[in-house]
Amino acid sequence: MTTKQETMRETTERTRLRHPFDTATGTLVCGALLTAVLVVLVRHIAG
Amino acid sequence: MDATAVDLVLRWTHFLAGIVWVGHNYSSVVQRPSWRPYTAAELGNDRSERFMALMKREHGFFRWASVVTWAAGMLMLWQRGWLPGALALDGALAPIGVGMYIGTIMMANVWLVLWPHQKKVLGIVPATIDERLRCTRITHLSSRTNTMLSIPLLFFMAASSYGGYLVAP
């Protein structure tokens, strides 16, 4: 593997680590936020 | 068996299979809370009949649990005459309708995204080591997507028991 490829892979890995689902907390917070958004939408659509 | 008994059995089946299915996702969150890229060595090369049977049984169990959960939920809605209202997100049926749509997305995620990639990770489908490593990332995100979606799903399942409380003016 060339140095450029290695750098690209490292950059990709670092970027991947920033995804909210990469931690348990991030996953649960996203779920809670989505719940809140959907509650507002449901009240708007069906209320 | 009368309609109430059928409804009760469907509800029980829905809960039981749902716990088997979604419990698998939460088990993964507890065992591996933060993403760490896999190495080739971690993937392992155990292709023994015993190991492959174990993997197939484990993954098959929760995959088919998703189908049982979904089917029991849909049958329950149909048997109660709620299906059209839930599909249309109509009034007091809107919360369970949202839950139904989220559950459908989650089941599709298991069968159409997670499982095809998991087969490569496990070596059930032949793939290069790079491809298998790439697939571990996809299966991680796919699994976590379902964990995340289970939070509103369970909320709207619970909310459906409160009739029109959520949508009342």
Residue B157 clears pLDDT 70, i.e. is over it: yes
- B141 has a pLDDT exceeding 70: yes
Q: Is residue B79 within 8 Å of residue B3, measured between CB atoms?
A: yes
* DSSP single-letter state for residue B58: H
Q: Inform me whether the C-beta atom of residue B163 falls under 8 Å from chain A C-beta atoms.
A: no
Is the Cβ pair A21, B94 closer than 8 Å? no
pLDDT computed for residue B41 by the predictor: 81
Contact A47 B35 (CB under 8 A): no
Q: Tell me, what's the pLDDT at A5?
A: 64
- Give dist(CA B95, CA B167) in Å, integer: 8
Which helix (H) or strand (E) segment holds residue B107: the answer is helix B94-108
List the single residue in B with minimal CA-CA distance to A31.
Answer: B148
What is the DSSP secondary structure assignment for residue A21, as one 8-state letter?
Answer: G
Total Cβ atoms within 10 A of residue B102: 22
Instruction: Give the span between the Cα atoms of B26 and B167, in whole angstroms.
Output: 30
In this predicted model, what pLDDT tens digit does every residue of B77-103 receive, in sequence order?
Answer: 999 999 999 999 998 999 999 999 999
CA distance A34 to chain B (A): 7
Alpha-carbon distance A1 to nearest alpha carbon in chain B (angstroms): 12
Interface of A with B (CB under 8 A): 13, 16-17, 19, 21-24, 27-28, 30-32, 34-35, 38-39, 42-43, 45-47
Q: What is the pLDDT at residue A17? A: 58
Query: Among B107-111, B119-123, B139-143, where is mean pLDDT lowest?
Result: B119-123
What is the distance between the alpha carbons of residues B26 and B143, in angstroms, rounded to a whole number?
9
Residues 6+ apart with CB under 8 A from B165: B159
Mutate to test the interface with A, among B144, B145, B147, B165 (most CBs of A within 10 A): B144
Question: ipTM of the predicted structure?
Answer: 0.89
Tokens 């750098």, residue located: A7
Give the closest of A16, A34, A45 to B137, CB-based.
A16
Residue with tokens 């709207």: B156
Average pLDDT along chain B: 92
